[in-house]
Structure 1
Amino acid sequence: PSEDADLQSMGRRLAHRGATLSIRRFSPRLALGAVGRNAAEQILQRGDCAFVCDATVCNRVELASELITRRREAPSASAGLLLEWLDAFGPPGTDGIDGEFSFALVDMAKERALFGRDYFGCRALYCTVLPEGALAFATEYKAFRALASFKPVPDPEMLQYVQGAKRLPVGRTLLRNVWAIQPGGTTELDATGRELSHHRAPPLTVNVQVRDAETAAELVRRKLTDAVRRRSEDLDPIGLALSGGIDSISVAFVLRNLYPKRTIHTFTAGYGMDDPEMATAADVAKEIGSIHHPVLTPPSLVQRELRTLAWHLEEPFARSEALQLMMVGRAAREYVDVLLSAQGSDGLFAGADKYLLLYLMQRLPPLRRGLHEFYDLSQTGRPPQGWLGKVFDRLYFKGKVPPMPRVKGAKGTFELSTLPSFGPEFVNRCMAGSYQLGMCRSLQKFDRTFAASGIEYRSPFYDLDLVRSAYTITDRLKIRGRKAKVILREALAPLVPERFTQIRKFPQRMKYDIAFADTMDSLADAVLSPERVKRRGIFEPEDIRRLRLRAPGEAYPPEAAMRLWTAILTEYWAEFFLDGGPLADEPPTAATTAIHA
C-alpha cells in the first residue's frame, strides 16, 4: 500500500494480537507493519531487502551454534536470528527451523518478495493482489478491508466445501481473491502476485525402526520431554490449556517434572463441574500443584459470543470447542502471554475415532469400501454412495443428520478420498500423509481463538523431532482394537499416576442439550430467517429449514448441531467480509451482537 495510513488502519484491525504497532516505510512503493508485544523488533532491513516476521524459534540454540561455527552473527531476537539464517542458507534453510513463524523478505531492487511459514503453518500469512496491481499481505485477511480498492469476491465452491468438511483446504479461503501462503517452505512472488519459485520441505514419511514396547515408550517419553522443554523454557509463569484427555495431561506432568518450582496456570473450559473434562482437569491440577482456572461455557455464551468468534476465525469453523478456547484465552490473558496446548497428538499416536475406521479398513477387507465412504462422510460430509456405506451412516447417525445446505453457484462435488495402499503400517502411513496439512487446517481453532486475547499458542506435538520420531514406531503399538494411544500411555507410566493414564477421553465441546438447541434456534430465527437467507443469496431457505428440524423436547445430535452452527457462522462471515461497514472493523461486542441479531 502507498499510504502509511492504510497500514495504520490494517494494524487497528489486528490490534487484538499485541499491544504495540510498528510501521516502517522503505520506499514510495513499500511499507511494512507489525503488531505484537515488541512490534518494532519484528521489522528489519538488510541492504536492499526489508524483512518482517511473526516468529517464535524453538531451536534457537542449535541455529545460533551453527551460525557461529560459520562465523556469522547469532542475534538473540527471533526476527534477527531468522533473517541471519535465511541469509546464510536461503529458502532450504527453513527446513531446519523448529518453531512457529511466518515472514516476508522483500527485495526492493528486484521488486519481489519471499514468503515463508513454519512446517505446520502455525502462523498464518494471507495475500491478495489489489486492482492497481499492488501485492498486500497480512496475518489475518480482515486487515485487507482497510484498503479502499480491496473488493472481496466470494468463492461458492469453498463456501460449499466448508458446510460438510468443517474446515477449509490448506491455502484456500472463502474469497477467490485471497489465498494463504503454503506451510513448510517458501514461496517467491513478484509485485503482481505471480509465483516465481517455491521451496517445500520434505514430506513426513514412515520409517519404522522401533517395534518393542519398552524401547518405544522410552523414546516417546524422552522426545516428548525434550519437545515440552523447547517450547516452555522461556516461560515463567507457564500457561496450559488443560482438558481431561491424556494428551494435555501428559504435558501437565512433564511440565511439573521439568520445573518443580515454577508457577503453572491451568485453564479448562466446560459446562460445569459435572462435565467429565472439568472434573478430570481439576484433579490433574491438584496433583501437579498448578493454579487452576475453570472456565464455564454455558449455552447462553453462544448467543453472546458466537458473532465475535466468527469475526476472529474468518471462516465458519464447525467446532463448538473453538468458542470454549476463545474464552480460555480471554481468561488466560490476565496471567500469561503464552498458552501451551496438546494439539496434534492424535495424528502421531492414532487417538481419534477416524483412526479406528482406518484400523478396521486394514483388518476387514470385505468392509473397506463401506468404511471408506463412512470415513469420508465423517471428514468431508460426502454422502455414501454404496449400500454398505449407507448402512454405516444409518447405524451411527440414525438418520438424524440433515443434508448439508447447498450453496448457490457451487457444483459441490466430492470425490472419494485417496488413501495409501493397504498393507503394513497402513494407519501410520495415513497419519504421516495427512499430519502436516491436517495441523495447518486446525489453525483457526487455536491460533485465532487465543490471539483474540493477545495470547500466543504453542504445542509440543508440533516439535519436528518428536513428530519424526513418532513415525519410527510401528502402528501396532499405537492402536489395539478400540484402545488408542497405547504407547503414549505406556510412555507416561513413570511420570503420571495410573488413574490418569487409563482415563477415558470425552469430547471437548459444549454440551449439546436442549438448552443449547434452544439457543441455536433463537440465533437462527434472526440470523437465518427466510427473509435474510433469501436476501443474502448463499443458501436456499428450504435447506436451512431442513437443518432446523428436530423433534419436540429433543436436542440436536452433535453433527446436526454443527451443521446449523456452520450455517450461522457463514452468515456472520458474509456480514463482515461481504457487507463490510464500521461494525466489521473491530471485534463485535455483546451489545452489537444483540443489535444485529
Structure 2
Amino acid sequence: MGGIFGTIGDLDAGVVAAMGRRLQHRGHRVQSFEVSSQVTLGEWLSHKATGRLTLGHWAMVADGDIYNALELQKMLADRGIAPIGDRPEILILQGFLEFGDEIFNRVNGDFALALWDDDRRLLRLVRDPVGMRPLYYWHQNGIFAFASEYKALLAIPQLPVVADRAAVQTLQYTKYPPTNRTLIENIVAVPPGHCLEYERGKIRSDRYWDLTVEARETEGDRAAEVRDIFLQAVRRQTADLDRQVGVTLSGGVDSASVAAAIRKVRPDLHLHAFTCGYGESDPEILTAAIVAEAIGCDRHPIYVTPHDIPPLLPQIVWHLEDPIARSETVQKFVTAGKAAEYVDVVLAGYASDGLYGGMPKHKLVKLMEWLPPLKTPLTEFYSYTQTSRPPQTLLGKALHWAYYRGADAPAPAIEGVQVAPPVESIPPLQPELLNTVLKSGVVNGVGKWLPKAERLHIAHGVTVRSPFLDRDLIDNAFEIPERYKIYRWREKHIFREAVKPLLPPAVLNRPKFPQAMKYDRVFSDVLEEICTEFLTPERVRSRGFFSVSEIENLRRRPKSGLYSSERSMRLWTAILTELWAQLFIDGRGEKPE
C-alpha cells in the first residue's frame, strides 16, 4: 500500500499537508520533504517501508510493489551497481540513472512514481503499464500538483472545481469518463504505460510500454506452458509475504485458479478466501465453498443485501472518486473490509478475460470472423453494449431487439452537452482479429476499470494484486493464437486447459456470471428509496445535469414492480453522479462523515 503527492509552485505548507491528509487511508505513516525551492514531494508508506528515495540531485516518491526485484538487482550488479537502502523502489531510481526510461519497461510490478531532477528542475511522473496504481495531475498559473487520488488535489484553494459536463455525459453512456480524463475539468490521469515530464511550465507525455501480437505455434504442450507462467506469476506476487495472504474467491475459474495456485506454490502461507454474495444460495457462495474445500483454506462467506447499500454509498463514492462502477462495488467494498481483519494483501483474478477471451463481447468478435457479411451489424451491437450507441442498420437493430427485448433504457442526457455516444470500433477483418481487439483492451481499456478494484481495497488498507497483470504472463498471452482462446465456442479455452490439474471439474466448466447484486423486488425497492433522496425533481433541477422528465421516466417502475438490470444500472449511475457532485463539486473532496 502507499500513496504519493507533490507540488511545484508557490503553495503554503499547510496546503501540502492537507493534500497528504486526504490520502491517509493509503498508508501507515507519511513523509514529505522540500526537495528544492517551491518543490515538495510526499508519500504515504507501509509499515515496512523506511527511508527516503534520494540519489545525488535526484529524489523520488513511489507507490508500488516490485515483483522482479532480484532481476533488477542483477541488471544493476552487471554494471557494478549495488542496491542502496532497504526499499526495493530505489532499484528503479538507480536503474533510471543507468538505463534511462528503459528501466520502466523492465519493472514487473504495480507502481506510480514521481522523480525530481533538481539540476534541470524537471519532474517525471510514471505509471505502471496497465494502470493498477492511480496517478493524477493538475497545473495552472505556475502551479503543478500531482496525487494518487484527485481528492488530494482539491485541497488546493487555487484549483477551480468545475464539472466536465462532456465527461459526465460519457459516464452515462459507457460507465467511464473519457480515457485518462476525470469528471473535473483540467484534472487528468497519467496514462498507464506512460512517462510524463513537466519542465518549466511545459508538459510532454511518452508511452514507454506497448504490446505486440506475435501469435506463434509451439511443438510443446501449450497448456503446460501457460500453467507454468501463471504459477510463476503467483510465486512472484507472493514472494514478499511471510505468514498469510487473502484471495477474493468468486465462483469463477479465474479467482479459483489464483487460490489453487497460491496453495500450490506457497503451501506455507495461511490462505484466507473471501467470497461475497446475496445469501447462502448464491452460486458464488456455493462454488467458492467447493474450491475452498478442495484446496484447503479458511473460508469467509460475506452476505450483502440491498438494505446494506444506502449507508455505504457516500464512502464508496468518496473512495472511487469518479463513480465508474455499479452494484458490484458494494460487494467488493464490504469484502475488502472483511479481508482487512485478516490480511494486508489479497490476490484476485482481475484482467484474465482480457487476455484469454473470456467475455461475451469476445464471442461477437469471433462471429465477425466466421460471418464476414454480418460484421457491420455485429459491430453495431457490440458498440451498443459498450457505449450505448444505437445501431443504425436494420440487422443491427434486430440484434439489439432480440437481446434486450425492450428491457433496456437510453442513457439520460446531460443538459447543454452535445456529445454522441462514442463508437467502439472493431478493426477490419484480419488474421488474429480477436487478439488485436484483446490487445487494445489491455493497452487502452484495463486502466479505466482497475482503479475500481484498487480503490475499494486500499480504502481498508488492503493491497490488491492480480497475477494476470504480470508482465511475462501478458506477453505470453499475446503469443497464443486466438483459436486456442475461444475454441468450439468455449471461452478462455487455453487457460481452462492450463489450470485443469489445479481445479475441481465443477469449477472448471462453470459458465461465467458477472458479480452483481440480485436484481429482485427488494433491490428495486431500495433503488427507488435511494432515488427519493438523490434524484428528486427539485434536486435534479438544482444540479442541472439531467432533465427532470428523463429521470422521472427512468424511475418509472413497470407493472411487475421490478426494474430490469439495464434500467437499474442507468439509475445507479445517475444516483452516483449526483452523490459524486455533492462530495467533489460542493464539498471539494472532504471526507463524508
Shift of 1:343: 0.3
**Cα 1:340/1:462, change in 2 over 3 Å:** same
Counterpart in the other structure of 2:273: 266
SS in 1 for 2:112: strand
Counterpart in the other structure of 1:157: 166
Counterpart in the other structure of 1:195: 203
1:500 aligns with 2:500: no
- What is the CA–CA distance in structure 1 between the aligned matches of 2:212 and 2:354, rounded to whole Å? 13
Question: Cα deviations across residues 328-386 of structure 1 (Å, max 9, x unaligned)?
Answer: 11111111111111101001111011101111111112221111111111111111122
Counterpart in the other structure of 1:25: 34
1:385 aligns with 2:392: yes
Counterpart in the other structure of 1:466: 473
- What is the CA–CA distance in structure 1 between the aligned matches of 2:568 and 2:45, rounded to whole Å? 36
Give 1:109's aligned amino acid.
D
Give 1:483's aligned amino acid.
R
1:438 aligns with 2:445: yes
Counterpart in the other structure of 1:539: 546
Shift of 1:495: 2.0
Contact kept, 8 Å, 1:314 with 1:573, in 2: the verdict is: yes
1:135 aligns with 2:144: yes
- What is the CA–CA distance in structure 1 between the aligned matches of 2:183 and 2:298, rounded to whole Å? 40
Shift of 1:174: 0.8
1:248 to 251, 255, 263: 255
Counterpart in the other structure of 1:215: 221
**Cα 1:303/1:204, change in 2 over 3 Å:** same
Counterpart in the other structure of 1:97: 107
- What is the CA–CA distance in structure 1 between the aligned matches of 2:551 and 2:300, rounded to whole Å? 38
Question: Cα deviations across residues 479-519 of structure 1 (Å, max 9, x unaligned)?
Answer: 13432111111111222222221122322111111111111
Question: Cα deviations across residues 398-457 of structure 1 (Å, max 9, x unaligned)?
Answer: 112121010123211235333222132211111012212221111222011101111111
Give 2:250's aligned amino acid.
S
1:334 to 316, 341, 344: 341
- What is the CA–CA distance in structure 1 between the aligned matches of 2:347 and 2:179, rounded to whole Å? 23
Divergent runs of 4+, >4 A: none
1:276 aligns with 2:283: yes
Counterpart in the other structure of 2:330: 323
1:420 aligns with 2:427: yes
Choose 427-436 or 132-141, whichever is displaced more: 427-436
- What is the CA–CA distance in structure 1 between the aligned matches of 2:183 and 2:121, rounded to whole Å? 28
Choose 7-16 or 412-421, whichever is displaced more: 412-421
Give 1:370's aligned amino acid.
P
Gaps of 5+ in 2: 1-6
Choose 227-236 or 475-484, whichever is displaced more: 475-484
**Cα 1:23/1:40, change in 2 over 3 Å:** farther
Contact kept, 8 Å, 1:13 with 1:142, in 2: the verdict is: yes
Contact kept, 8 Å, 2:383 with 2:425, in 1: the verdict is: no
- What is the CA–CA distance in structure 1 between the aligned matches of 2:90 and 2:524, rounded to whole Å? 51
- What is the CA–CA distance in structure 2 between the aligned matches of 1:279 and 1:415, rounded to whole Å? 39
Question: Cα deviations across residues 181-206 of structure 1 (Å, max 9, x unaligned)?
Answer: 111131111243x214x432342122
Counterpart in the other structure of 1:226: 232
Shift of 1:169: 3.3
SS in 2 for 1:104: strand
- What is the CA–CA distance in structure 2 between the aligned matches of 1:137 and 1:39, rounded to whole Å? 24
Map 1:548-559 onto structure 2 (within 5 A): 548-559=555-566
- What is the CA–CA distance in structure 1 between the aligned matches of 2:463 and 2:444, rounded to whole Å? 20
- What is the CA–CA distance in structure 1 between the aligned matches of 2:50 and 2:541, rounded to whole Å? 49
SS in 1 for 2:212: coil
- What is the CA–CA distance in structure 1 between the aligned matches of 2:95 and 2:50, rounded to whole Å? 16
**Cα 1:50/1:547, change in 2 over 3 Å:** same
- What is the CA–CA distance in structure 1 between the aligned matches of 2:342 and 2:482, rounded to whole Å? 39
Shift of 1:172: 0.8
1:585 aligns with 2:593: no
Contact kept, 8 Å, 2:323 with 2:577, in 1: the verdict is: yes
Contact kept, 8 Å, 2:92 with 2:103, in 1: the verdict is: no
- What is the CA–CA distance in structure 2 between the aligned matches of 1:341 and 1:81, rounded to whole Å? 26
**Cα 1:42/1:487, change in 2 over 3 Å:** farther
Contact kept, 8 Å, 1:320 with 1:509, in 2: the verdict is: yes
Shift of 1:153: 2.2
Counterpart in the other structure of 2:378: 371
Give 2:466's aligned amino acid.
S
Shift of 1:96: 0.8
With structure 1 as the length reference, what TM-score do the two structures score? 0.94
- What is the CA–CA distance in structure 2 between the aligned matches of 1:503 and 1:40, rounded to whole Å? 42
SS in 1 for 2:96: helix
Choose 20-29 or 306-315, whichever is displaced more: 20-29
- What is the CA–CA distance in structure 1 between the aligned matches of 2:200 and 2:299, rounded to whole Å? 50
Question: Cα deviations across residues 462-482 of structure 1 (Å, max 9, x unaligned)?
Answer: 011111111111111111343
- What is the CA–CA distance in structure 2 between the aligned matches of 1:61 and 1:162, rounded to whole Å? 42
- What is the CA–CA distance in structure 2 between the aligned matches of 1:563 and 1:116, rounded to whole Å? 34
SS in 2 for 1:339: strand
Question: Cα deviations across residues 207-240 of structure 1 (Å, max 9, x unaligned)?
Answer: 111367x721011101101111111121230111
1:120 aligns with 2:122: no
Counterpart in the other structure of 1:107: 117
- What is the CA–CA distance in structure 2 between the aligned matches of 1:463 and 1:42, rounded to whole Å? 27
Counterpart in the other structure of 1:287: 294
Give 1:166's aligned amino acid.
K
Give 2:479's aligned amino acid.
T
Shift of 1:16: 1.3
- What is the CA–CA distance in structure 1 between the aligned matches of 2:302 and 2:136, rounded to whole Å? 32
2:19 to 10, 21, 29: 10
Counterpart in the other structure of 1:593: none
Aligned residues: CA RMSD = 1.7
SS in 2 for 1:293: strand
Map 1:563-582 onto structure 2 (within 5 A): 563-580=570-587
Question: Cα deviations across residues 135-170 of structure 1 (Å, max 9, x unaligned)?
Answer: 010000001121121211221111100101112333
Gaps of 5+ in 1: 590-597
Counterpart in the other structure of 2:3: none
Give 2:570's aligned amino acid.
R
1:518 aligns with 2:525: yes
- What is the CA–CA distance in structure 2 between the aligned matches of 1:473 and 1:554, rounded to whole Å? 47
Counterpart in the other structure of 2:59: 50
Shift of 1:51: 1.2
- What is the CA–CA distance in structure 2 between the aligned matches of 1:419 and 1:138, rounded to whole Å? 35
